[in-house]
Structure 1
Amino acid sequence: MTDLLDTLPYARFLGLQSRLTGDDLIVVMPFADHLVGNPMLPALHGGSTAALLEMTAVAQVALRYPRLQLPRPINVTVAYLRSGRPVDVQARARINKAGRRVAHVLAEAWQGDESQPIASLTAHFLLDEEDNL
């Protein structure tokens, strides 16, 4: 999955790193000053948090279905549950349901305590095979 994230320019900008723990893919966004959206708090920018969640979901689908092209988002909804502190963020996604053409994916991001997510994502992705291009 590191190879996949390395091919995405915005993932490189965010410094995303991935690791597999069993079947679970965890994506980490290390804290960097350019990720701060509100310097008064300071709090992470919502766009970087949303991008982390979406790329985690894409990576999870790509890991589960390696013969498919990169999954394309149909719709993405992000819920911001609390301010992201200026520390590393971790995210995990799970495929809730996948059919022949569409996958429904849920993802959560947290800092420190996984039971206290800072944001969650619900998305549908189009699943296309490589030779359907």
Structure 2
Amino acid sequence: MTLPPYADLLGLHLEPQADDAPPVLMLPFAEAVTGRPNFLHGGAIGGLLEMAAIAALYHALDQAQAQIKPINITIDFMRGGRPKETRAMGIVSRLGSRIANVEAVAWQDDRETPIASARLNCLIKRA
């Protein structure tokens, strides 16, 4: 799976999953993603959530060639991201022929205690 260049800029890594499981992305902590002292920058968390949603869409499209363009994104920040690894996973709630709705959740220590979540509407242009 090839993610947009922004994923490389953030240093995101795909974690191994079962074939049918949605991909999980991991954001390693680095000074480049620091906001206020000892916290992740909100933009880095937002970028992680967006990339997780796009990865979930590519997974749902079964690696089909498609261009994905977010139409709108709503992010809910629930708690500050601490200086440690952060993971995110996207879940496709609706996959139409041209529009997809995706949710994404980011967490650090426990998946049941998210630090942020997002809802995206994306335009899909299939090849």
Tell me the TM-score normalised to structure 2 length: 0.92
> 1: CA distance between counterparts of 2:120 and 2:74?
6
**Greater relative contact order (Cα 8 A, min sep 6): structure 1 or 2?**
2
Note the C-alpha offset of 1:70: 2.7
> 2: CA distance between counterparts of 1:24 and 1:62?
10
Which of 32, 35, 50 does residue 33 from structure 2 map onto? 35
User: Percent identity between the aligned chains?
Assistant: 37
- Greater share of helix: 1
Q: Tell me if 1:59 matches 2:51.
A: no
1:73 and 1:126 in contact (8 A); partners too: yes
Cα deviation digits, residues 55-80 of structure 1 (max 9, x gap): 11011101221224231101111110
Which of 4, 9, 15 does residue 19 from structure 1 map onto? 15
Q: Which runs of 5+ in 2 are unaligned?
A: none
Q: Tell me if 1:47 matches 2:58.
A: no
Give the corresponding residue for 1:71. Answer: 68
Q: Which runs of 5+ in 1 are unaligned?
A: none
SS in 1 for 2:102: strand
How many equivalent residue pairs? 124
CA-based RMSD: 1.1
> 2: CA distance between counterparts of 1:119 and 1:109?
5
Note the C-alpha offset of 1:37: 0.4
> 2: CA distance between counterparts of 1:31 and 1:76?
24
Note the C-alpha offset of 1:20: 3.7
Give the corresponding residue for 1:120. Answer: 117
> 1: CA distance between counterparts of 2:65 and 2:71?
16
SS in 2 for 1:57: helix
Report the AA paired with residue 89 of structure 1. T
